[in-house]
A and B are shown apart, each in its own frame.
Chain A
Amino acid sequence: MVIKQLSVFLQNETGRLLKITDILKKENINISALSIAETEEYGIIRMIVSDIDKAEKVLRENDYKVKVSDVICLITPDIPGALNEKLELLAAENINVSYMYGYSSEGKARLIIKASDPERAAEILNNNN
């Protein structure tokens, strides 16, 4: 399914991430998934949070550069070849994946996928579930 992801631009310096988690903590916002893409100078932190509207608002109020985007949340069995199968479906439809992150536990893998056409990608993945 398609869900909302919150991304924040951060300088790659000590304490910058802490400031974000601190702001979210104070607003009682839970982070359910998180990944960081980093370059030498800056990083992009991408999160799935409990209250995205509130999180976006407070971070903007604190002068952060924030972007909300559509991503796909995919749950697959935690077995070899499960991801491969899904990616084949997307590749067949010429949908590009620019990044993904996730983890597996208790027999299931949960993945967040940024795809070139999230609606269409979700549809393809759903139909083949």
Chain B
Amino acid sequence: MIWNEPKETMSRDQMYELQSARLRKIVDRVYHNVPFYRKKMQELDLEPGDIKTIDDITKLPFTTKDDLRDNYPFGLFAVPKSEVVRVHASSGTTGKPTVVAYSRKDIDIFSEVVTRALACAGITKNDVVQVAFGYGLFTGGLGLHYGAEKLGAAVVPISGGNTVKQIQLLQDFGSTVLACTPSYAAHLAESLEEAGVDAKELPLRVGIFGAEPWTPEMKKKIEEGLGITAYDIYGLSEIIGPGVSISCEHQIGLHIAEDHFYPEIINPDTLERLPEGETGELVFTTITKEAMPLLRYRTRDISSLNYEKCICGRTNVRMSKIYGRTDDMLIIRGVNVYPSQVESVLLEIPEAKPHYQLIVDREGSLDTLEVQVEIDDKYFTDEIAQLSKINRKIKQKIENNLGISVILKLVEPKTLKRSEGKAKRVIDNRKL
């Protein structure tokens, strides 16, 4: 179902006009209310009047995660603190947390885009939505919560973790929708199997998964394991949270709520804007947000854009599923390696579990990549010769895909961190 037909099916020309008008307004507001942006624009010899249409967006400066950190905590607010009704923040595992703020109208927008996303995934007021995203500073839990409520569905705000309880409520409450990270969904599928619960017997029918990159192979595995159709929800707190985009029933890209978030694809090295269809770093400008609008925010996610009208009737631009992150990319002996490549390979090998950890190190001047993998129970044997054979098979498949040699290490079950939040897939011990 299309929740907001006027906005989700408007013609490209109308969208151009709407985005242009909204951009002019937002640029004017940040120029006058956010010293950081005024300074940046002045350095570029830009005034708000220079921005006439959405095409002029390329004149504007970029914003990075470091800019958010430098202005920690409230430096980028465009409204007085009294207008702020909520703040969210990143976990800050790699330095200071990044803070984002919402006015009442921002919360309305947030709820609106999540509602659109859920409707796009075929969810209605008759559904029971188990929100297993974390509630708290992370936007996932509350974001899905508000959207599902606005849609009129029954929300089960269980938050992340506590797998035993999750399984109990899936059974007792008959939840029809599960919202969580894909790695947690995979974990739940596995736990259901261990607990002897047949997922296909459960009323669960739809999964709304996001907040970390996942491969099509993993999607298939989760769908089979839970007996559901999985939808890919994308978002980041800096832009609003989940709901920036969502896949529809045709599963060919994610529809962006582009009347609120204007997307661009750039070359992350030259910062040049790339033409439609090319792959590069995804950049968003929030063209309606009040409390903390961001101009050309560099997401570090790798994607591409497609402006063709979708079979589902939506005219909103679609972004491809995220290929990876510019900062997830490892350069090992000069070769670009994405952790998601390893995951894809593992999902194709029945002997291996799709849980893995990559340890990058440097011996002398040579980079080493160790891949730690768990062997699947069904294939566990106590004969070293057989285990070595499996080890060699996995190693060879990974090496064929990555194009570099790896050290493959079979590890004890559950020594690899299972994610009840986001998975820690890579440990880089190189001192570069």
The residues of A with any CB-CB pair to B shorter than 8 Å are 5, 7, 9-11, 16, 37, 39, 41-42, 44, 46, 63-67, 69, 98-99, 114
Contact = CB atoms under 8 A, between A and B. Distances in A.
A98 B385 contact: yes
Complex A-B, nearest 4 residue pairs according to Cβ-Cβ distance, in ascending order: A7-B382, A63-B414, A44-B382, A37-B384
Contacts of A16: 412
A9 B375 contact: yes
Contacts of B377: 65
B383 A99 contact: yes
Given A42-B387, A42-B410, 12 more contacts: A9-B410, A9-B412, A9-B413, A10-B412, A16-B412, A37-B382, A42-B409, A44-B382, A64-B413, A65-B380, A67-B382, A114-B383
A66 B381 CA distance: 9
Contacts of B409: 41-42
Task: Assign chain B's interface to a size class.
Answer: 10 to 19
A37 B410 CA distance: 15
Nearest to A38: B384
A9 B383 contact: no
Nearest to A8: B382
Interface string B30-65: 000000000000000000000000000000000000
B413 A63 contact: yes
7 contacts: A9-B375, A11-B412, A39-B387, A44-B383, A44-B387, A65-B375, A67-B382
A9 B384 contact: no
Contacts of A11: 411-412, 415
Contacts of B380: 9, 65-67
A73 to B, nearest CB: 16
Interface string B370-414: 000001010011111101100000000000000000000111111
A98 B410 contact: no
B382 A46 contact: yes
A64 B412 contact: yes
A39 B388 contact: yes
Contacts of B412: 9-11, 16, 42, 63-65
Contacts of B381: 67
Contacts of A98: 383, 385
Contacts of B415: 11
A22 to B, nearest CB: 16
Nearest to A69: B382
A65 B381 CA distance: 10
A75 B236 CA distance: 67
A65 B373 CA distance: 13
Nearest to B407: A41
Contacts of A5: 382
B375 A44 contact: no
Contacts of A10: 412
Contacts of A69: 382
A42 B387 CA distance: 10
Contact of A39 (B382, B384, B411, B413): B384
A98 to B, nearest CB: 5
A63 B353 CA distance: 14
B411 A44 contact: no
Contacts of A114: 382-383
Contacts of B387: 39, 42, 44
A114 B383 CA distance: 9
Contacts of B410: 9, 41-42
Nearest to A68: B382
B359 to A, nearest CB: 12
Nearest to B388: A39
A74 to B, nearest CB: 18
A63 B415 CA distance: 9
Contacts of B388: 39
Nearest to A10: B412
Contacts of B383: 44, 98-99, 114
Nearest to A98: B383
Contacts of A46: 382
A44 B409 CA distance: 14
Nearest to B415: A11
A99 B386 CA distance: 12
Contacts of B382: 5, 7, 37, 44, 46, 67, 69, 114
B413 A65 contact: yes
Q: Which of B382, B410, B411, B413 has the most CB of A within 10 A?
A: B382
A44 B413 contact: no
A100 to B, nearest CB: 12
A65 B410 CA distance: 11
A37 B386 CA distance: 13
A16 B411 CA distance: 12
